[in-house]
């Protein structure tokens, strides 16, 4: 088991393990699974039905390095010994009963383009750059935005259902429509409701529409039709936001597959399952990782 990425996050802060001056944010976290890490430990038969099973409810600790809105700013995730772990690889995807973990990269009503650094050790959250300058959206994003851990959009896979578009080489994105503003690095329990097949410069970039279980309306929405009923206009607003956000930079509007409409929950769950399988093959090294960090 030494090669496996198996760890437990304890119910206590790890301040004693941190360097002087480091800051902590401790918050309720989702369950941790014992199925991550070196997929060499998984048989081919098990890989086909790869899923993480939760074992208990720990806490999550994040550590900020550098200052926000600077090139060296990073938000790392720590285990109970103070060791850095990956929010992409080491946080389980599934919690059971149709509930999933969602790692927040960009809080709603903010514009700094934060993202998990897939090419850096332990995949910290950082602000994206272009030509050495920090990137911002031209206007605030109106929903909490981030990723589903243990998912990956395979750039060698052409999706015949979405114009043969290839995956964008990133984890699957989530747009969380609840009323509360989350924090960078926060992990929310969400249930998927719909999926938008965005095509960004020829690459397939799925957007899973979801809601936090803590939201007051969470019990009312369980599929795409419920979103329109209880959050009228939201699905159209999400599609239009992602269609148009690059236009101020002189780029063309993004396109969408599947008839330019959001697919239902069943389809969203299929996307999640398929991209979880792709991630499992990636960490098993059945697919070349390129510059991606699997640590």
C-alpha 100/C-alpha 115 separation (Å) is 19
**Which residues are designated catalytic?**
137
Q: Is the dihedral of CA 175, 130, 72, 283 positive or negative?
A: positive
Q: Is the dihedral of CA 88, 56, 222, 265 positive or negative?
A: positive
C-alpha 213/C-alpha 89 separation (Å) is 23
CA angle 192/107/178 to nearest 5° reads: 40
C-alpha 150/C-alpha 272 separation (Å) is 9
Strand extents, DSSP E, 31-97: 59-65, 74-78, 84-85, 94-96
**Cα-based torsion angle of the residue sequence 140, 108, 120, 252 in order, rounded to the nearest 10 degrees:** -40
């Amino acid at each position: 088991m030494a090669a496996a990425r198996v760890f437990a996050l304890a119910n206590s802060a790890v301040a004693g393990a941190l360097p002087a001056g480091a800051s902590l944010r401790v918050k309720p976290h989702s369950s941790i699974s014992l199925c991550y890490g070196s997929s060499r430990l998984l048989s081919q038969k098990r890989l086909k039905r790869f899923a993480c099973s939760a074992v208990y409810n720990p806490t999550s600790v994040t550590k900020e390095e550098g200052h926000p809105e600077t090139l060296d700013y990073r938000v790392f995730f720590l285990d109970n010994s103070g060791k850095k772990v990956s929010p992409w690889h080491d946080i389980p995807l599934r919690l059971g009963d149709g509930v999933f973990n969602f790692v927040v990269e960009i809080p709603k009503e903010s514009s700094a383009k934060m993202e998990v650094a897939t090419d850096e050790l332990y995949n910290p959250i950082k602000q994206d750059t272009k030509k050495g300058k920090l990137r911002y959206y031209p206007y605030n994003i109106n929903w909490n935005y981030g990723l589903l851990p243990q998912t990956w959009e395979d750039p060698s896979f052409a999706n015949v259902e979405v114009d043969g578009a290839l995956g964008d080489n990133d984890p699957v994105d989530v747009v969380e429509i609840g009323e509360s503003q989350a924090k960078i690095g926060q992990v929310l329990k969400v249930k998927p409701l719909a999926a938008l097949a965005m095509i960004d410069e020829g690459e397939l970039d799925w957007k899973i529409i979801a809601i936090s279980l803590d939201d007051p309306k969470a019990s009312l929405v369980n599929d795409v039709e419920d979103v329109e009923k209880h959050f009228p206009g939201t699905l159209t607003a999400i599609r239009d936001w992602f269609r148009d956000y690059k236009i101020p930079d002189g780029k063309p509007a993004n396109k969408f597959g599947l008839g330019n409409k959001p697919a239902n929950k069943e389809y969203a769950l299929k996307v999640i399952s398929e991209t979880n399988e792709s991630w499992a093959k990636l960490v098993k090294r059945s697919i070349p990782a390129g510059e991606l960090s699997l640590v």
